Amino acid sequence: MTLHTPRLPLVAILRGLDVDSAEAVGRALFSAGFRILEVPLNRPGALECIRILSSIAPADALVGAGTVLRVADVDAVQAAGGKLIVSPNCNPEVIRHSVAQGLFSAPGIATPSEAFAALEAGAHALKIFPAEQVGTAGLKALLSVLPSGTPIWPVGGITPESMAIWFKVGATGFGIGGQLYAPGTPAEQVKTRAAGFVAAWKACQAG
């Protein structure tokens, strides 16, 4: 199975999403153009939210989990219908298992050693985390040694206004958390914020 990053490489990180609002928030994001949705596992109800989001996702969407730390977590996410495995760290065992199960693997890395270990294990994309710590200068230096075309997504503190400078040094996508969604955010507000990020991404591509 060959997995490709959706055309809009923006990851909605839905930390604290609750089961009751999952469908409304998911539909708001999908209607705004988002196609990658991540529900971190370190909150109650995460797997049920993934199940709900997967059931309403467009065919070209990637729905799955963040904060995936163990192989058993990978299996639980897949059982819930998830196709995306995101971690804050680089655990080659988790990466290899995800890839073997036909899931999209995006582990967190902050150093060249972690980046190459993740790629060797089969990661589809690299999550720069925490992006504030690595910085744009750090990303530029990292990209100078990584294979050309490596998908790389800064995560942490990303706003529509900050995307352009990251894009300029080589970011190919972004993970977006609290600036997009926080527990209790109404679905319509999520949709409005999502549209702002989509517009900013299109502006980056347009130069």
Q: Would you please indicate which residues are annotated as catalytic (active-site) residues? A: 38, 127
d(CA 50, CA 29): 14
